[in-house]
Amino acid sequence: MSAALLLFFVMAHLWIEHFMHLGARITYRTVLERLVHGFYVFVDAGLLGVVVFHGLNGLRSVLVENTNDPAAVRAVTTAIWVLGVATFVFGVDVLSPFLFGHPWFRL
């Protein structure tokens, strides 16, 4: 399911970012202007969410495939969920200056 969604978002992302305006320079302003449109925000945020879920779920599969200990599986699953939520928030924070005019978490 996440793989099928990922195919859609990756193709949309590649087309919008790299091929729709092939040769045009990517600047802070062009990204800002693009992210005024809700569809582009949906593609970027959707790609972020799905790629984080799909990638970390794959990593979880690799980590737990050789263990039969339910406690170890639970611990890995919990750690992966925490890492996933943190990564999603981090990714939205990268987008935040374009979406809200300022970063969420400026250090």
Written as one letter, the residue type at 31 is: V
CB of 28 or CB of 70, closer to another protein = 28
> Can you read off the two tokens belonging to residue 46?
């959707």
59 binds another protein (CB under 8 A): yes
99 binds another protein (CB under 8 A): no
Is 68 strand, coil or helix?
coil
The binder of another protein chosen from 40, 91, 99, 100 (CB under 8 A): 91
7 binds another protein (CB under 8 A): yes
12 binds another protein (CB under 8 A): no
Is 22 strand, coil or helix?
coil
What Cα–Cα distance (Å) separates residue 82 from each residue in 37, 76, 97?
30, 10, 24
CA pair distance 43, 59, nearest whole angstrom: 24
Which residues would be at the binding site for another protein (CB under 8 A)? 3-4, 7, 10, 18-19, 22-23, 25-29, 51-52, 55-56, 58-59, 61-62, 65, 87, 90-91, 93-94, 97-98, 103, 106-107
